[in-house]
Structure 1
Amino acid sequence: MPLNYHHLRYFWAVAHDGNLTRTAQRLNLSQSALSVQIKELEERLGHPLFERRGRKLHLTEAGRIALDHADAIFATGQELVATLQDEGNARTALRVGAQATLSRNFQIGFLRPMLARSDVEVILRSGNPSELLEGLETLNFDLVLMNHEPASDSLTSFETHHLAEQPVSIVGTPVRLDPKRPIRDLLEEQPFILPTTNNSVRTAFDSMASRMSVRPQVAAEVDDMAMMRLLAREDIGLALVAPIVVQDELSSGRLVEAEEHPRIKESFHAVTFKRRFPNPLVRELLTYSLPQ
């Protein structure tokens, strides 16, 4: 039996609205009639598309996949109406969450294989770890990028894929940073721009300073790498970052790097959620990116 596209459009409207009653009013239908239409679509597809949590409707995993296809179908229809000379290409969505403290340069490098494709639409959002992992569980993200592994136990459905590991450096303006100065002297003499205390790199830095019996002056604690980069360029202090974060400034000489490294490494992980119907683009992307 062919798919009933009226049913699909009703589902599409409810999925984007998130409220059955409000959608029924907007479409000038009774709530019961709208429910019947969606029920018939679920029977045709063989999977429930929504689950009710309290008073709210949430997409199931099958519902998220159906919504992706519905978005593509109705977008193509709009393009067809707009111009008969351009049939348009269906674009598959890849929803990625990224920890706010993660290097933008790393994110672009990781996503480059998908960003270069005309048939893929990359939707990228940043947030804190708890928000991102919740987004994975509710199927709002296909994949999340983090600089630490999430806690795991027998009840957890997260899968962590180690992508890369990069040494962290101390960088600053040529006026402030003498690259040949030992780290101990820099810790004693210069203010530092550091990640916030819930960051693994910050934890390693604090341990290093403690071992040296030094209490560095903290000029700023920042949970955003773009802001850390900007503060370093503005000569607010020395920044503790992976060189990839400031690669343009290092190349131009606007910032320089201390020759002695703090022996701290930042790890990069892709976190996925065990799904019955995983987005095939995730496996493609991980194939490009995982160490061989």
Structure 2
Amino acid sequence: MNYKHLHYFWVVAKEGGVSRAADKLGVAAQTISGQLAMLERSLGVALLAPAGRGLTLTEAGRTALSYADRIFSLGEQMLEALEANAGAGALRLTVGILDALPKLAAHRLLQPVMALGKPLRLVCYEGELDELMSDLALHRLDVVLSDRPVASSGSLRVFSHALGEYAVSFYAAPALAAQYAPRFPASLAGAPLLLPTRTNALRGRLEHWFEANELRPTIVGEFEDAALMDTFGRHGLGLFPALSMLGPEIAAQFGALPVGELDGVREQVFAISGERRIRHPGVEAMLRGGEASPRQ
């Protein structure tokens, strides 16, 4: 068997089409199509079939994909083992972090990994959920930190592990905090707010809380990236939400003070993995840390 051809098939199946696979691999779509045809001829079965504008797996294709998943997963594990040997036993953990997830929260969640007491090589990538899930499926990431669970679909088999849910507060630059902290939450009526965009799971909970408290604040900014939102909040553009437990870090890093905690609003955090049973010691440490304090 030509394993290069099998790898092309594997990426096409994971990406859902030849064009996306070509972009991921940096090769021409015609090259992938030609090598897929050669693979199917060598195996004597069709692995993919047209479905609208894309492709779908045949029954033989699903069988082949299950074996390819194991083959290339072992290949990634081999590389990690060799890197660990070359790095004198250093533990390598590659983490994808959703861009909407607060960076201070990600740092807090990764602290149990850094406290394992062994040499660590931590590699972090930030991006949108679809992009991170694609890299997880290709075994480029060990785990993804997300603000929402992800369900398995099609050839993407993933598992969502709850790390905890945490109370949320509004923070602001000192002048704004002094203005709006008294009479909170009634003081938020007409207050300038910086909020995550509607793609963020927290946004819906915030809007429900505004409605329940009969508040109509003024939204002066919406941000996909939590760190960018915090930066604008630091410079006094408006009040911004963040985890209550991060108050000391937010004060030290952004000079912002708490305005008030939002009763009943929780930020959820999940570790998304490609396996139900976590085997990476770094991810296991992160899950144990989440179990120790699931609600804060």
TM-score scaled to structure 2, two decimals? 0.65
Judge conservation of contact 1:168–1:261 (CA < 8 Å) in 2.
yes
Shift of 1:275: 7.5
CA pair 112-249 structure 1, distance change in 2 beyond 3 A:
closer
Q: 1:219 Cα deviation (Å)?
A: 1.3
Which residue does 2:53 correspond to in 1?
none
The answer to whether residue 105 in structure 2 is matched with residue 93 in structure 1 is no
Rg: which structure is higher? 1
Alignment partners' CA distance in 2, 1:264 and 1:166: 8
Which residue of the partner structure matches residue 236 of structure 1?
237
Task: Name structure 2 gaps, 5 residues minimum.
Answer: 1-24, 28-63, 66-70
Q: What is the root-mean-square deviation in Å for CA atoms of aligned residues?
A: 3.3
- For 1:118 and 1:141, locate their aligned partners in 2 and report how far apart those are by CA, in whole Å: 20
Counterpart Cα distance in 1 of 2:253 and 2:289: 30
Residues 164 and 291 in structure 1, CA contact (< 8 A), matched pair in contact too? no
d(CA) in 1 for partners of 2:254, 2:82: 50
Alignment of 1:267-286 (within 5 A): 267-274=268-275, 278-286=279-287
* Residue 67 in structure 1 maps to residue 68 in structure 2: no
User: Contact conserved, 1:97 with 1:141, CA < 8 A, in 2?
Assistant: yes
Instruction: Quote the residue 1:203 is aligned against.
Output: 204
Aligned to 1:186: 188
Mark the CA change 1:252 to 1:102 in structure 2 (over 3 Å): closer, same or farther.
Answer: closer
Inter-partner Cα distance in structure 2 for 1:245 and 1:277: 28
1-structure distance, mates of 2:77, 2:284: 16
**Partner deviation per Cα, 1:40-79 (whole Å, 9 max, x = no partner):** xxxxxxxxxxxx99xxxxx810110111123344xx3xxx
SS at match of 2:264: coil
2:127 maps to 1:115: no
Which secondary structure does the structure 2 equivalent of 1:176 belong to?
helix
> Matches of 2:224 and 2:285 in 1, distance apart?
30
Encode CA deviations 1:237-259: one digit per residue, 9 max, x unaligned: 11122234553343699423234
Given that 2:244 and 2:261 are in contact with CA atoms closer than 8 Å, whether structure 1 keeps it comes out as no
Secondary structure at the aligned position of 2:262 is classed as coil
1:186 maps to amino acid: L
Aligned residues: 226
* Paired amino acid for 1:160: S
Identity %: 23
SS of equivalent to 2:198 = coil
After the TM superposition, which of the residue ranges 282-291 and 223-232 deviates more from structure 2?
282-291
Please name the residue that 1:12 is paired with: none
